[in-house]
Amino acid sequence: MQKESKRCTSREDDICLCSIEGIMGILSKKWALLIISAIGNNRKLRYSELEKKLGEISPKTLADRLKELENVSLIKRETFAEIPPRVEYSLTKEGADLRKAIMPLMRWVSSRESQK
């Protein structure tokens, strides 16, 4: 406990990293931000549509990331009682807020790529 409080006692303009460690562990995993971006760009996507949009992601990795993002309330999984079964993924309000927050980063990366 002392170690954690020591990290969080710093200058007034510093951001305490203690509160973001958990979510950053999920968001820093490969594909997480791309999944959020893809869903946000399309409002709702089915699993197979996400696979196509992301390209080289393995089915296991996609399933794992979707579960992790759902567990931290960034995406919502909606199941429809149809035959064949249909599942759609969309962003929660928190997920949409996160997407909005990372858009400047994504634009910056895109501008760097276009300069090469």
pLDDT in tens, 34-68: 999 999 999 999 999 999 999 999 999 999 999 99
The CATH-assigned architecture of domain 19-115 is Orthogonal Bundle (1.10)
Q: What's the pLDDT tens digit per position in 9-29?
A: 555 566 676 777 778 888 889
CA 26 distance to own-chain centroid: 8
Rounded alpha-carbon distances, angstroms, from residue 108 to 22, 36, 115 = 25, 17, 11
pTM above 0.75, yes or no: yes
Per-domain residue ranges of the chain? 19-115
pLDDT tens track for 75-109: 999 999 989 889 999 999 999 999 999 999 888 98
For the chain, first and last CA: distance in Å?
47
Query: How high is the pLDDT of residue 113?
Result: 78
Facing residues of 19 across strands?
A: none
